[in-house]
Amino acid sequence: DAGVTQSPTHLIKTRGQHVTLRCSPISGHKSVSWYQQVLGQGPQFIFQYYEKEERGRGNFPDRFSARQFPNYSSELNVNALLLGDSALYLCASSDRAFSGNTIYFGEGSWLTVV
Amino acid sequence: QKEVEQNSGPLSVPEGAIASLNCTYSDRGSQSFFWYRQYSGKSPELIMFIYSNGDKEDGRFTAQLNKASQYVSLLIRDSQPSDSATYLCAVGQSRLYFGRGTQLTVWP
């Protein structure tokens, strides 16, 4: 069975550009969450979507946005990139709105902003 | 702001020893607690979760929870070099709050 898939795996962007990261959850999972992990830190919650509705938002600026599609895949968009946005972006998939014991992370998208 | 603190590393233990990883949290109302393992350059992998006070064992891993003290720990028995990784403590319901992680090195 396919796990959580994310794309792209690595990318380099220039300050001021925008980026779109994509995530496909495990088949049958309806909840997708996004986390940002800066080097040396634990992951920080950005968004949660369940059944295509936003269920939670972390303390991130409005430059960060996301959406979930009818097939439960999700996109994370970041506008006006800053150097500090360089991080590993993790997508987490779950079959319920909350179910910590069944949250699975994808391999992540490594974003470098130069 | 809910905070999760982990004991500062790095932690280095010899093969076969017990590794003890500790975590405290600020939100007294927290109900769910998780330990993730993260190898360098990889994403976090869930290894244990615990909801009730006391101990929960899974193979070589034991999670311990004390809600009165707002403390959760992970013990790794018979540590192996393959256990060398960063261990993340996470607390939460609909969203997870993570600590900064403790880097564990098990030397042969």
Nearest to B88 by CA among A98, A71, A57, A88: A88
For residue A1, the model assigns a pLDDT of: 58
Q: What is the largest CA-CA distance in chain B?
A: 41
A102 three-class SS: helix
Kindly determine whether residue B96 and residue A58, on different chains, have CB atoms separated by under 8 Å: no
pLDDT digit string (tens) for A34-46?
999 999 999 999 9
For residue A100, the model assigns a pLDDT of: 58
| Model confidence band, residue B82 (pLDDT cutoffs 50, 70, 90) | very high
Q: Does A79 contact B at CB distance below 8 Å?
A: no
Asked if the model's pLDDT at residue A14 lies above 90, the reply is: yes
CA distance A80 to chain B (A): 26
Rounded CA gap, A75 and A68, in Å? 7
* B42: chain A residues, CB-CB within 8 Å: 107
